[in-house]
Amino acid sequence: MEETIVSAPGKIILAGEHAVVYGYPAIVAAINMRITVVVKQEKPDKKYTGLVKYALEQLGIIDKVKLNINSELPVGGGLGSSAALATALVWAIKKDSSQAEKDQWVKIIEDFQHGKSSGVDQTIVREGGWLRFQQGKWQVIKLQFKAAILIDSGKPKESTGEMVKMIAEGRHEAEFKKIGELVNNWRPELIQENERLLEKIGVVGEKAKKIIREIEAMGGQAKICGAGGVKAGSGMILAVHKNKAKLKQLIDKNKWKSSEVRLGDEGVRYEN
Ligand code: PMV
């Protein structure tokens, strides 16, 4: 039976999450944590659920394919796992379609998961590298920011869609505008200011704030890097410090779960 293998990267939003939904720019990078999907044209041996079920139903092949999914990305960590999965599925199943058609399918699946999505996640998953994204348009950018430390503040209770909806109900235009200005002049030194603005709009939970304050207290900077969450965890925290060893000591001392990622990985690709 014919088999198609596709892998797609996760991503970190370096600056601009949430504001990007309202037309402000964001800076985003693909990371070297990927999701790999193997699609075989065979009758499935199990029932699909969630995003996979929705995607296969939309694509009209729910009882025609067998899937094997292998992910290095935590679900709900703000690392774009749903966009990577949706992209890998669509590229495998709609192999012969045009890119524009594939994009439309990914958007349908992303919107099911995210509610109103800006499109930043699906664009970086497709393109890879580093991008500046605004209102559906994107430019490749070159950043010296090539590696990052991520600290797990815990899985959010809220979905991305719920967080986006919560923010839509508030009045945050002033903060979004400041985030947009910050993105246009982005450098790692602005991570702390971006984090403060995210806290102001209310997407950062107490656990994440505590971790971030400790990093700041020893001279580093940190921010959440996705939709966030306030009821429990806020997903992955991006942490930087001039002295990486010092940051690692703090992580070890607190027994925080962390990982080092490389930025700028390749976008979605066929593996066979
Ligand atoms: O947490 P994630 O990976 O789903 O990040 C979503 C980024 C948002 O700006 C919150 C939503 C969007 O569609 O841009």
pLDDT in the model for residue 245: 96
pLDDT band at residue 45 under the 50/70/90 scheme:
confident
Give the predicted TM-score (pTM) of the model. 0.94
User: Average pLDDT of the chain?
Assistant: 95
pLDDT in the model for residue 112: 86
Q: Which atom of ligand 1 is nearest to the CA of 167?
A: 10
Residue among 24, 85, 121 to mutate when testing ligand 1 (max atoms within 8 A of CB): 121
Residue 76 has pLDDT above 80, yes or no: no
pLDDT in the model for residue 243: 95
Residue 1 has pLDDT above 70, yes or no: no
Q: How far apart are CA 180 and CA 178, in angstroms?
A: 5
73-77, 92-96, 196-200, 241-245: least confident range: 73-77
pLDDT in the model for residue 272: 94
What is the distance in A from the centroid of ligand 1 to the CA of 242? 28
The finding on whether 160 has its CB within 6 A of some atom of ligand 1 is yes
pLDDT in the model for residue 74: 86
What is the distance in A from the centroid of ligand 1 to the CA of 58? 22
| Per-residue pLDDT tens digits for 26-35 | 999 999 999 9
| Per-residue pLDDT tens digits for 228-240 | 999 999 999 999 9
| Per-residue pLDDT tens digits for 206-229 | 999 999 999 999 999 999 999 999
Are 15 and 266 in contact, with CB atoms under 8 Å apart?
A: no
Residue among 14, 106, 117 to mutate when testing ligand 1 (max atoms within 8 A of CB): 117
Residue among 118, 165, 172, 238 to mutate when testing ligand 1 (max atoms within 8 A of CB): 118
pLDDT band at residue 116 under the 50/70/90 scheme:
confident
pLDDT band at residue 77 under the 50/70/90 scheme:
confident
Report, as an integer, the average pLDDT of 62-83: 91
| Per-residue pLDDT tens digits for 154-197 | 999 999 889 999 999 999 999 999 999 999 999 999 999 999 99
10 Å Cβ neighbour count for 202? 16
pLDDT in the model for residue 179: 98
